[in-house]
Structure 1
Amino acid sequence: MSSRPEAAELGFGDIEVGQVYEIERSFSATDVQAFAAVSGDHSPLHVDPAYAAGTEFGSCVVHGILLASLFSQLVGMRVPGRHALYLGQDLTFRRPVLVGESVRAIAKVTAKSEATSTVVLNTEIRSSDDKVIVMGTAKVKVRDQVRESVAAASAASAVPAGAARSVALVTGASRGMGAEIARTLARRGHAVAVNYLRSADKAEQVVQEIVAAGGVAMAFQADVRDAEAVRAMTQQIVERLGPPTVLVNSAVGEFANRPIAELRWSDFEDHLEYQLKAVLNTCQSVHPLMKAAGAGAIVNMLSQVVGGVPPNGLADYVSAKTALLGLSKAMAAEWAEDGVRVNMVSPGLTRTEMTQHYHERVFKMEAARTPLKRIATTADVANSVSYLAGDDSAFMTGVNVFVTGGQTMI
């Protein structure tokens, strides 16, 4: 009779976002020697006590991959257990673990995809004093055949035949430029999550237009300046459409022309809330999903004001957009190794709800000084965003595309 422990048999429906699974373990010298024999890694730091005693650690250190095997134990035995198929795991090692040291391995469910029957886990190993030793993200398929059949039938009834599985989240998509970007991405084959703050009717209208044209879209309400609201929205998107692999940050607040002498710090804060805080919230929320998928495209909407001489009366807006330029470049550099590209689009003056109060002569004057002799349309901007979100721009990151008809040339 086998004494082998039994694995859990969780189905996809048994796993909920927010659930946490833990195991505790210490690795003995015998464990380390056995792993060295299997892996061929006989580094003296791990297996030679005399050598290890002379190092900065003072004694033998457990192999990093042996530690990471605790994640395999969590997945194969606990969540989901018998029905698990490991699709990916990234690892960051913060500090070594000594032989005999007790540690806890933790897996927290952070996302689920109905379309692919996969779950995303935030994985950590912590020391006895609760310090993070190893951290990462795991992606696991739940091979629950009954559940997969139900999910496939549900998806077939909800999603038109031939619809792409790639998901794009567009913030501020209920009107203006954001709405046009959502429609364009849908035409290019993305299922689109249409984010809105207050304009539920307008967001639903955008969704209906996309669906009527044969696309896939759903509306999701969230104040992107609120990190908790963004996390909740992301969870809903994953459950209803799948994990986003494209994010377009186009939400923007209202602005008024005022000279610098009349501006208050609160005016700057209002713009920074949208241009910096909101973008950070959404990017941090989707980054683990993109990293787990091995690819992702983020497009942040900037403005022509970040290039050349800025217009008078918009110092608060210009400052916030310039801050977003810096954040976008930093993200592009730091997340490149995760397969996540971060690019920017900087439109010139465009006819939208935000500019509809401008006098017609403003548009005519702007067109006259533009080499292409017209101002930008929302379609011009959306097409550039779509290009940066697609595979044709796969070797581009940290790029700022000026859609200005030639007014800005770099």
Structure 2
Amino acid sequence: MTTPKRILTTPSPSTSPPSPPKQWHVHLTLDLIMTVLCRSILHPFIAWIIVLCLRAQATPYDHPAFLIASGYATLLTIIDIAFMISDRIAFGADRTVDLGEEVIVITGGASGLGRLVAQIYGLRGVSVAVLDVADEEDVRLRGWEEVGGVEYYQCDIGVRGEVERAARRIEEDLGTPTVLVNCAAARINGQPLLSLSAETFQKTIQTNLLAVVHTCQVFLPQMLSTENGGTIVNVSSVLGQLCAAGLADYSASKAGLSALHRTLEAELRVSGNGDKVKTVLVESGQISTPLFKFIKTPSSFFAPVLEPSRVAQEIVSMIDQGRSGVIRLPTFAMLANWYAVLPAGLQRIGRYLSGIDLAVPAESAQTDQPGQENLRVEKK
């Protein structure tokens, strides 16, 4: 392995002309509506304010308006408490996080979502190790400025030996890793199954799934050896459940990654280490990164393209709080599990109305982009 290099994280100003402003209705999405509702009439605190306002007006306790408002506020409070109890039963107590003692390893951190997570922690003074297949020259040519505390290790995480060598160097340079964020992924091929070569399919599985096996098996024992444990974040995709046409290799790898994560979570719990090592699974929709550049969202209302910063903030929040859980964004991703229990006919109608199977353009089969053949970029 080469010696670690400082990762560069702030892009230089672009000289490209600004994009035309979006129409106002583009910003009206199901996510926006649900956010407004959850922070207003569906929030217990707001509901109890209404009750207090009624009492301030000397509304009698037996008045229908007071009874309805009180009952509604009580119902929301019970639901909120029930979810908190459910999370505690499912994921146990939160892990105590001391950012001054944490060493964070991020795969695929030279671009996209992984880069943002690395940038956030680097600017906060946390020790961060970025693993990526890109060489130092490619990183330098992107014109990023250096951020202290973040080290770059050129590493193909699909190769077990390289992961083990990188792990030894990280422990020597930064200390024992306590947080692992698996963001790396192979680029999207966007080809029908019959057009995919066995080598291409195998490469996607190796990068998106087998590489996570390598990193978990290498870094998890180090986390278990520390007094305060650690956190493992695996960035999967809602497409692991919805399985759009033209994404056979990607969907198969993400379905396997979600299954691997849940199995790891179960094994930690059974072994008594569930409170020591927390696990976070990210099953998101389409993220605005180079990985999905040529794919058009089926519906900007129901399935808006996510900004990487939004997903990064959710990941950082879970790590900082020492919590286990599942991050599903946008709103439709939270309904993916319900899709699986619908009758087959309704599932087919839903797929037709959503346009999910037309999201990958037919011309994407030409796809090989210059210089991208072996590039593993941030995942979705």
Same fold (TM over 0.5): yes
- Of 299, 316, 335, the residue aligned with 2:249 is 316
Residue by residue, what CA displacement relative to the aligned partner does 1:101-156 show, whole Å, maximum 9, x if unpaired?
xxxxxxxxxxxxxxxxxxxxxxxxxxxxxxxxxxxxxxxxxxxxxxxxxxxxxxxx
Say whether 1:301 aligns with 2:231.
no
TM normalised by structure 2 equals 0.57
Structure 2 matches for 1:360-375, cutoff 5 A? 362-363=296-297, 365-370=298-303, 374-375=304-305
- Of 318, 325, 340, the residue aligned with 1:388 is 318
3-state DSSP of counterpart to 1:252: strand
The equivalent residue for 2:283 is 346
Runs of at least 5 residues in structure 1 that lack an aligned partner in the other structure: 1-161
3-state DSSP of counterpart to 1:366: coil
Deviation at 1:310, TM superposition (A): 2.2
The equivalent residue for 1:404 is 330
Residue by residue, what CA displacement relative to the aligned partner does 1:247-282 show, whole Å, maximum 9, x if unpaired?
011111122111223334333311110122111111
Distance 1:210 1:202, change over 3 A: same
- Of 158, 165, 169, the residue aligned with 1:236 is 169
The equivalent residue for 1:175 is 111
Deviation at 1:200, TM superposition (A): 1.9
The equivalent residue for 1:12 is none
Counterparts of 1:202 and 1:380, CA distance in 2: 26
- Of 289, 292, 306, the residue aligned with 1:376 is 306
- Of 240, 246, 262, the residue aligned with 1:329 is 262
Kept after mapping to 2: 8 A contact 1:166/1:190 = yes
Q: Which has the higher strand share?
A: 1
Kept after mapping to 2: 8 A contact 1:300/1:344 = yes
Residue by residue, what CA displacement relative to the aligned partner does 1:321-369 show, whole Å, maximum 9, x if unpaired?
11111111111121242321222112211111222344xxx25x53233
Deviation at 1:189, TM superposition (A): 4.9
Residue by residue, what CA displacement relative to the aligned partner does 1:164-208 show, whole Å, maximum 9, x if unpaired?
231100001111121112112334553110111124245468996
Say whether 1:256 aligns with 2:167.
no
Give the AA of the match of 1:304: V
Counterparts of 1:208 and 1:264, CA distance in 2: 36
- Of 192, 217, 221, the residue aligned with 2:150 is 217
3-state DSSP of counterpart to 1:183: helix
Counterparts of 1:325 and 1:190, CA distance in 2: 28
Aligned-pair Cα RMSD in Å = 2.5
The equivalent residue for 1:142 is none
Q: Which has the higher helix share?
A: 2
Q: Say which structure, 1 or 2, has more relative contact order (CA 8 Å, 6+ apart).
A: 2
Q: Number of residues paired by the alignment?
A: 234
- Of 166, 190, 209, the residue aligned with 2:126 is 190
Counterparts of 1:199 and 1:346, CA distance in 2: 29
Give the AA of the match of 2:250: Y
Counterparts of 1:175 and 1:314, CA distance in 2: 22
Counterparts of 1:203 and 1:389, CA distance in 2: 26
Counterparts of 1:167 and 1:204, CA distance in 2: 24
Counterparts of 2:103 and 2:225, CA distance in 1: 14
Kept after mapping to 2: 8 A contact 1:194/1:220 = yes
Deviation at 1:376, TM superposition (A): 0.7
- Of 201, 204, 216, the residue aligned with 1:283 is 216
Counterparts of 1:206 and 1:405, CA distance in 2: 34
TM normalised by structure 1 equals 0.53
Distance 1:210 1:367, change over 3 A: farther
Counterparts of 1:288 and 1:227, CA distance in 2: 15
Distance 1:322 1:167, change over 3 A: same
Identity of aligned residues (%): 26
Q: Determine which structure has more spread, i.e. the larger CA radius of gyration.
A: 1
